[in-house]
C-alpha cells in the first residue's frame, strides 16, 4: 500500500512537471498590445569575443520578436574600443589574437544588415582608437557622436538597451 502511494505520488509529480514544461516560454505579458519593438542597443566592449556573442544575441532577439508577432526596429550604436573590431583592416596583433571573433563580428553585422538593423559607428571613437573611417565594415554608418545618436534615437521613441 505504501509503495503504491509513493508510485502514485511520483506519477502525479511527473505529470504536473510535464504540464509546467509544456507551457510556452515567451514574452506575451511584456508584448501585450505591442506591434513594433523599437530598440537602440549601445555596444561598448573591449573584447571582440564578447562583441560577437552579443551581436548573435541581438539576432536572436530580433527573431524572438518576429516569432511573437512584433515587428523589430533596431539600431545598434557602437562606441568606445568596440570600433576597433568593426574594420576591414584591424591592426595585426588584434587580427592575430582574435581573427575568428573578428570574422564572426563581420558575419553578424552582415546578417543583421540583411534583417534591416541599422548600425552606427561613433566617429569620436574611431578617432580616439585610430580606426580609419574608410575601413568601417560594409553596411555601417559613421555618425559624428554616438552619444548624440543615442539621445536622438531615444527622443524618437527607441528604448535603450545598454550592453555591458
- Give the per-residue pLDDT at 82: 97
- Give the per-residue pLDDT at 1: 58
- Give the per-residue pLDDT at 30: 96
Q: What residues of the chain score a pLDDT lower than 50?
A: 4-5, 8-9, 11, 19
- Give the per-residue pLDDT at 5: 42
pLDDT digits (tens, 9 = 90+) for 106-144: 999 999 999 999 999 999 999 999 999 999 999 999 999
Residues linked to residue 95 through DSSP beta bridges, in sequence order: none
- Give the per-residue pLDDT at 164: 82
Task: For the domain made up of 36-163, give the CATH fold.
Answer: Hypothetical Protein Ychn; Chain: A, (3.40.1260)
Amino acid at each position: 500500500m505504501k509503495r503504491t502511494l509513493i508510485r502514485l505520488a511520483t506519477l502525479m509529480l511527473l505529470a504536473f512537471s510535464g504540464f509546467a514544461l509544456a507551457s510556452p516560454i515567451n514574452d506575451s505579458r511584456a508584448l501585450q498590445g505591442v506591434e513594433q519593438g523599437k530598440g537602440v542597443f549601445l555596444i561598448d566592449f573591449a573584447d571582440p569575443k564578447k562583441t560577437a556573442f552579443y551581436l548573435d544575441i541581438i539576432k536572436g532577439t530580433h527573431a524572438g520578436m518576429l516569432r511573437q508577432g512584433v515587428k523589430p526596429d533596431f539600431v545598434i550604436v557602437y562606441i568606445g574600443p568596440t570600433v576597433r573590431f568593426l574594420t576591414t583592416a584591424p591592426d595585426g596583433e588584434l587580427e592575430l589574437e582574435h581573427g575568428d571573433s573578428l570574422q564572426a563580428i563581420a558575419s553578424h553585422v552582415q546578417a543583421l544588415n540583411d534583417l534591416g538593423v541599422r548600425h552606427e559607428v561613433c566617429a569620436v571613437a574611431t578617432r580616439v582608437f585610430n580606426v580609419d573611417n574608410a575601413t568601417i565594415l560594409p553596411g555601417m554608418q559613421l555618425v559624428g557622436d554616438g552619444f548624440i545618436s543615442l539621445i536622438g534615437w531615444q527622443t524618437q521613441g527607441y528604448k535603450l538597451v545598454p550592453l555591458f
